[in-house]
Amino acid sequence: MRRDPESAARPIAFQDRLPHNHCFGCGPNNPHGLRVKSYWAGEDQSVANFTPLPHHCAGPKHFVNGGILATLIDCHCVCTAMAAAYLDAGREIGSPPGLHYATARLETGYRRPTPIDAELALQARIVARTETTYVLSCELSARGKTCVSARVEAIRVPESWILAPRA
């Protein structure tokens, strides 16, 4: 299992170690967000779990909204890319200067409706990396069945991108 020195004794979610994280999907600094929490589960593999709430529903109230599902996958994968970038650089996750990534491409394949009354499991795997890009595959499942398969390309962005004032 891939571990970094900071989290070896007690796992700390990637998102909780990234400063200035106000993301709707994964930011611990966003009180209205989804608060995705990702952890290493093997070499270049990460996991996250999420329990949807009733207001995360699609048109039919017993399924999760597709945009919420895409957000969960996006945040889980991009934060996995950032965590990997820090470790690939031999640094603790979140240490300055920041290594920031953003979504360049998100491809989703919705396989079946995702029940809203089940815990969702996300499993991501890094399938390619360069100095500035990580490509990940991700599966989102409920009750042991794959509901969404995805491929995410995360690209490095400058630290000024994340700290820029709002327009």
Q: What percent of the chain has pLDDT over 90?
A: 84
Asked, for residue 6, whether it belongs to a domain, the answer is no
Contact (CB, 8 A) for 72 and 152: no
pLDDT confidence of 80, banded at 50, 70, 90?
Answer: very high
Two tokens, residue 22? 């106000």
Asked, for residue 2, whether it belongs to a domain, the answer is no
Strand partners, 101: 156
Range of the domain at 151: 12-163
Phi-psi region of 27 (alpha: psi -120 to 50; beta: other; left: phi over 0): beta
Q: What is the CATH number of the domain that holds 49?
A: 3.10.129.10
Nearest to 122 by CA among 39, 55, 53: 39
Q: Quick one: pLDDT at residue 1?
A: 43
Strands (E) across 56-142 are located at 100-110, 120-129, 133-142
Q: Return all residues near 101 (Cβ < 8 A) that are at least 6 apart.
A: 78, 81, 82, 85, 134, 154, 155, 156, 157
Average pLDDT for 150-164:
88
Phi-psi region of 134 (alpha: psi -120 to 50; beta: other; left: phi over 0): beta
Q: Quick check: 9 pLDDT over 90?
A: no
Asked, for residue 5, whether it belongs to a domain, the answer is no
78 sits in which H/E element: helix 66-88
Asked, for residue 128, whether it belongs to a domain, the answer is yes
Asked, for residue 7, whether it belongs to a domain, the answer is no
Contact (CB, 8 A) for 73 and 139: no
Asked, for residue 85, whether it belongs to a domain, the answer is yes
Per residue in 94-140, pLDDT (tens digit) is 999 999 999 999 999 999 999 999 999 999 999 999 999 999 999 99
How long, in residues, is the chain?
A: 167
Asked, for residue 113, whether it belongs to a domain, the answer is yes
Number of folded domains that form the chain: 1
